[in-house]
Amino acid sequence: MSSPSPAAPNQAPNQAQSEALAPTIAVIGGGQLARMMAEPAAALGLPLRLLAEAPGVSAAQVIPDHVVGDYRDLATLREVTAGAAVVTFDHEHVPTDHLRALAADGVGVHPGPEALVHAQDKAVMRERLSALGAPCPRFARIADAADLAAFGFPCVLKTTRGGYDGKGVWFVREPADAEPAFAAAAASGVELLAEELVDFARELSAIVVRAPSGQAAAYPVVATTQLDGICHEVIAPAPDLPEERATAAQQLALRLAGELGVTGVLAVELFETADGTILVNELAMRPHNTGHWTQDGAVTSQFENHLRAVLDLPLGAPDPRARWTVMVNILGAPDREDGTPVGRLYDGYPHALARDPRLRVHLYGKSMRPGRKVGHVNAYGEDLEDCLERARHAAAWFRGDLGDESE
Ligand code: ADP
């Protein structure tokens, strides 16, 4: 399922037409983040060309102009970006050397390799953030058990690269807890980073968007609930967050976006401790799960602003549309013992949509698998408890946590 480059003679007429109207944006990675870029791209008339990791993956279902291939292969990246004005990402794993090669080919790479490395490598990120004076947990690179003993317990061990959704993160209270971390690091050939175990009161996220010209926008700071390292729920804005702390978090995110030269969305995941201290957990340089609420709860979604930013177009207002927006992820539940699925996707619509006509549902075209993010719901309104109840009910219903008689 390989599509021709724009100059190819067998180019589809509609492709040629749309490329004449606006520059093509190449997107690497066929997950739900790329899929959700397609909606504002359609609205703005921006052609997307996708590199999908397999036929039929989430974004390939909605972006017809796609190539199936390996993002680690430079020739494949060149095929996808040929004729594209810019390239951006659904994930952060494209090797930076390849991105430098694409930039040398004349493709605008957003975010560029010098910025992206801070989202790829947690040790590089920690060292740079510390040099910039950003508040971080105490950390050290760990080569062996002696380094770990010197760092002290309890701590959190992380693979410096390749982790996501809590994979590659171990909570270590004594030396034996570190064995799986050392084994995983040895097997994948990546380094380990130790961090002090932060006794946080809650997790926050500050999302900003920055265009190459330097224009930037900051979304309201949100509160996020993670279970087993996976984002479950987001409340926008973070309840009871003092205004000066929210502003400081936004300013920190804007400063980091500028200092690191980020283009597009930067999500700064934060820990807030009981005494009000804010520490940076990690950075993501792409639309982020903690920003999905913006699709329905903000004037301009993070996906639209990401596309505007990578093209260096004026950014849209990040202001909320309602006092509160709650996002709850729909995660796949384990099957029943007889192998039938507990969760429901399309089959869940009659109840979920009838119960709450104001509910906003986003499914990713993925099948249910335990723990897999298959969609999310957004509920917005003036009353937080009402938004929480509606969004939690809908997500639980799709996940199959509620019986068939659910009201
Ligand atoms: P991932 O790359 O999987 O998102 P993170 O570094 O964000 O990994 O860690 C996943 C989760 O683990 C965080 O959201 C947080 O709940 C917890 N965590 C990570 N680092 C620390 C830390 N230093 N102290 C306490 N909890 C942590």
Q: Which residue has the higher pLDDT, 174 or 342?
A: 174
24-50 mean pLDDT: 98
SS3 7: coil
Given a contact cutoff of 8 angstroms between Cβ atoms, the answer to whether 316 and 44 are in contact is no
Q: Which fold has domain 15-109?
A: Rossmann fold (3.40.50)
Question: What is the tens place of the pLDDT at every residue in 174-205?
Answer: 999 999 999 999 999 999 999 999 999 999 99
Dist CA 340 CA 337 (whole Å): 7
Q: Is the pLDDT of residue 51 over 90?
A: yes
Q: Is the pLDDT of residue 138 over 60?
A: yes
Domain ranges of the chain: 15-109, 138-196, 200-399
Dist CA 378 CA 150 (whole Å): 45
Q: Is the pLDDT of residue 9 over 50?
A: no
142-149 mean pLDDT: 97
Dist CA 326 CA 66 (whole Å): 33
Q: Is the pLDDT of residue 20 over 70?
A: no
At residue 5, the pLDDT reads: 44
Ligand 1 close to Cβ of residue 225 (< 6 A): no
CATH homologous superfamily, domain 138-196: ATP-grasp fold, A domain (3.30.1490.20)
Query: Which tokens in the block code for residue 76?
Result: 């494949």
Measured by CA distance, the residue closest to atom 5 of ligand 1 is: 166
For a substitution probing ligand 1, which of 281, 290, 373 has the most ligand atoms within 8 Å of its CB? 281
Ligand 1 close to Cβ of residue 53 (< 6 A): no
Dist CA 326 CA 389 (whole Å): 9
CATH homologous superfamily, domain 200-399: ATP-grasp fold, B domain (3.30.470.20)
Q: Is the pLDDT of residue 65 over 80?
A: yes
β-sheet bridge partners, residue 235 = 223, 326
pLDDT tier at 294 (50, 70, 90 boundaries)? very high
pTM for this predicted structure: 0.94
Q: Name every residue whose Cβ is closer than 8 Å to that of residue 243 and which is 6 or more positions away in sequence.
A: none
At residue 2, the pLDDT reads: 44
